[in-house]
A and B are shown apart, each in its own frame.
Chain A
Amino acid sequence: AQSVTQLGSHVSVSEGALVLLRCNYSSSVPPYLFWYVQYPNQGLQLLLKYTSAATLVKGINGFEAEFKKSETSFHLTKPSAHMSDAAEYFCAVSEAGSNYKLTFGKGTLLTVNP
């Protein structure tokens, strides 16, 4: 069974600092990987996805993630944090042939300090 681990339930950075949110997955077959963002009292919005093309994936709002098969990781980064990046971030995995069902990590709450 696939699983997703997000290291750190809460990450705090200063405005302008590097954002690094960690995600590790376990999957028996090559997975599809996603990062979603959730702002307060809203649904989830897709940031980016990996679907076996380029290992470095660029998303919206300046975020990117790198798929590393050897480390079973898909960490999310942004070079310079903005106040508007404060939100909860979820990593999710879907296995081929699973009817696109998503398994989510428990989420990481990002706080950006002025």
Chain B
Amino acid sequence: NAGVTQTPKFRVLKTGQSMTLLCAQDMNHEYMYWYRQDPGMGLRLIHYSVGEGTTAKGEVPDGYNVSRLKKQNFLLGLESAAPSQTSVYFCASMDSNQPQHFGDGTRLSIL
């Protein structure tokens, strides 16, 4: 029972490069979320999805895009990475009226 799996766990990018972070959940959850965690800032919502084929903006969406082509996967893309996007990224999933389940995070450094 894997729960929420994030890939990769670590990545270093150069400014301007692109990459995609993958979140996969095996709990058949409808809702999925991407957060970023920065020191002293808590977690802030980037984008979220309420079901397959849907996406919506959260609190800090600029510079990121997402897709939810399959119910179990939620992808977070950085088209042109910037140093300000250095962060730890967390994915979460849930069903209605249940708490969110979090992955172990992706540590992303942009030089």
Task: List the interface of chain A (C-beta within 8 A of B).
Answer: 4, 9, 34, 36, 41-46, 49, 51, 90, 92, 99-107
Contact = CB atoms under 8 A, between A and B. Distances in A.
Given A44-B90, A90-B43, A106-B41, A99 B31 contact: yes
A7 B40 CA distance: 12
Contact of B100 (A51, A100, A103, A106): A100
8 contacts: A43-B90, A44-B92, A45-B102, A46-B99, A101-B58, A102-B33, A103-B59, A106-B41
Contact of A105 (B42, B102, B103): B42
A44 B45 contact: no
A100 B105 contact: no
Interface of B: 4, 31, 33, 35, 40-45, 48, 50, 56, 58-59, 90, 92, 94, 96-97, 99-100, 102-105
A107 B44 CA distance: 12
B48 A99 contact: yes
Contacts of A106: 40-42
Shortest 3 CB-CB contacts between residues of A and residues of B: A43-B102, A104-B42, A106-B42
Contact of B99 (A34, A42, A90, A105): A34
Given A90-B42, A104-B42, A43 B104 contact: yes
B90 A104 contact: no
Contact of B43 (A41, A45, A51, A102): A102
Contacts of B40: 9, 106-107
Nearest to A107: B42
Contacts of B100: 46, 100, 102
B43 A101 contact: no
Contacts of A34: 99
Contacts of A99: 31, 48, 50, 56
A41 B37 CA distance: 12
